[in-house]
Structure 1
Amino acid sequence: MTMISQIPVICTPGKRTLKNFLATAMQPVGTVLYVYGGGWNFENTGASKEACSIGVPGSWIRFFQKQGTDYTYKEYNPAHNQNAYGYAGADCTGYAGWAIYNTLETVSGKAGYVIFSTEMAYTLAKGRKLGTWTQKISSCRDFKPGDLFSMNGHVWICLGLCTDQSMVILHSSPTDSRTGHPGGGVQLSALSDDPTCQAMELAQHYMSHYCPTWKERYEAVWKSYRKYTTFTGKRAGRFSWYLDERGLLDQEYYRDKDAEAILQDLFEKGGSSL
């Protein structure tokens, strides 16, 4: 069984490889909105049924299609509406948990991987024993494709580094629309101390070429490396997958590829070439 999203990237549920994890994480890009608490269950103790479903939930896509540039995530806050909109989209943890679930599992309805953002990296390593965790981070060079980073109140996935040491990341983030409304959702973004970096060029290219509806509503965004790797507390930090049977295999050597090569491979093998 394979999944094909609206962007030309193919993934296979339960195929435990680094390439498949990143291909899976690409599936909701540009078609799922940020909803605070989206992906969490009613009790706010773990994953919702949507975050434990194989394939991008139809409710996520339908909600995206009904909205426009005036969508404001603060108006759809399940924390203030008894989780009335938890089905509608994904916050950062709901998205990351969904991507992990669809990489490690083959059927819907099992226990999920939605964990509080600041603790997700630590828990995946120490609790789930899927990889390593560290708070020793000195530069972008410390990040590898597929790493997850838990900062205070947010979690994001490293897709890969560029030659200028900027980084392309995957995350669900409440970025402003073209009309200034805080909406956003699952997207490729650039992480660097320089907003004119190579990662920004890649994020702009892929979000504009392959996510036309998203392009109508949102610009690709740059995030400050300094701010996005600053944290406090004992459980924030970086998670890296074990590259063996305990975590994910890396048969395609993605760990050694840069962001541009990874994106080209994902999209070309998915039926489209740049």
Structure 2
Amino acid sequence: MYIWGGGWNEEDTGAGVEATRLGLAPAWVEFTSQQDSSYDYEDHLYEIHNGLDCSGFVGWVLYNTFEHEDGKDGYVALSGELPSDLAQKGWGKLIPAAKIDSYEPGDILGNEGHIYIVLGEMEDGSVLLVHSSPPGVQISGTPTPNGDLSSQAILLANSIMSERYTAWSEKYPNHTVDLSYLQGYDQFRWDPSILTDVHGLKKMPTDSRMDYLFSSLEN
């Protein structure tokens, strides 16, 4: 579930214990199972062990991508700072919002209010993404750049969530984000020597890429 402050430590200075572990924290699973369609994150502010906020989620994903044991230094940072922090480490490049001309899987988009990870750009210019946003972590789709809400990304997000995360989607059926997700976010793009693509995922159409990823998880 989306928890304001989730993934951060008690001091609110960096990654907490859940964001520096491999896999799902048992507390997340238990808390999520107790929620219904009326879930309101404002009733659970700073219950930091029960879920993740947007930057906590991205930090946890990075930890599970690069680390091989629990308890090492984490990757959680403010949503408006993490893209530039990653670029300053030499792990890729920062592209200001005004200069973004494409979206690739793995791109991290952030501003002072939110951060998300790109899963793919569709032929109509809409973007499939994953993020933690009320009520919780989910795959969502943007409109097209001209604001069309019948975009390919929204259709694909709805299909994935309803077919693969049925119980969640029945409780929380909205998998659409607004046009602001394509505006006003700086973009971090990985250096391919840091985040390699040994399976050629970037060359796949987004729907095929998602099928491949889910098939890998199931196997």
| Alignment TM-score, normalising by the size of structure 1 | 0.75
* Deviation by residue 1:204-236 (Cα, 9 ceiling, x = unmatched): 1110111122022111322233x12433xxxx6
Kept in 1, the 8 Å contact 2:92–2:189? The answer is: yes
Aligned mate of 1:97, from 44, 48, 59: 59
In the superposition, relative to structure 1, how do residues 240 and 268 fare at CA in structure 2: closer, same or farther (>3 Å)?
same
2:16 maps to which of 48, 51, 54: 48
Structure 1: tracts of 5 or more residues without a match: 1-32, 79-84, 175-183
Letter in 1 for 2:210: L
How far apart in 2 are the matches of 1:112 and 1:217?
32
Structure 1 254/200 Cα, relative in aligned 2: closer, same or farther at 3 Å? same
1:230 lines up with 2:183 in the alignment: yes
Q: Pick 1 or 2: higher relative contact order, CA cutoff 8 A, min separation 6.
A: 1
Give the partner amino acid of 2:192.
L
- Which secondary structure does the structure 2 equivalent of 1:153 belong to? coil
In the TM superposition, residue 94 of structure 1 has moved relative to its aligned partner by: 0.6
The answer for the alignment partner of 1:252 in structure 2 is 199
Aligned residues: 216
Rounded Cα–Cα distance in structure 2 between residues aligned with 1:172 and 1:122: 20
State yes or no: 1:239 paired with 2:188.
yes
Choose the corresponding residue for 1:130, options 91, 95, 100.
Answer: 91
Structure 2 gaps, min length 5 = none
Q: Secondary structure at the match of 2:174?
A: coil
Deviation for aligned residue 1:256: 2.5
**Secondary structure at 1:201's aligned position in 2?**
helix
Distance 1:120 1:194 in 2: 30
Supply the AA of the counterpart residue of 1:230.
Answer: Q
CA distance in 2, matches of 1:136, 1:172: 21
> What is the 5 A alignment of 1:98-247?
98-126=60-88, 128-138=89-99, 141-174=101-134, 184-192=135-143, 193-225=147-179, 227-231=180-184, 237-244=186-193, 247=194
TM-score (norm 2): 0.93
Q: Which amino acid aligns with 1:189?
A: S
Which range moves more in the overlay, 248-257 or 62-71?
248-257
Alignment of 1:49-68 (within 5 A): 49-68=17-36
CA distance in 1, matches of 2:103, 2:34: 37
Give the partner amino acid of 1:216: E
Is 1:269 paired with 2:198? no
Offset, 1:163 = 1.6
Report sequence identity in percent: 34
CA RMSD across the alignment: 1.6
Matched residues in 2 for 1:53 and 1:43: separation?
A: 18
Q: Distance in 2 between matches of 1:91 and 1:271?
A: 26
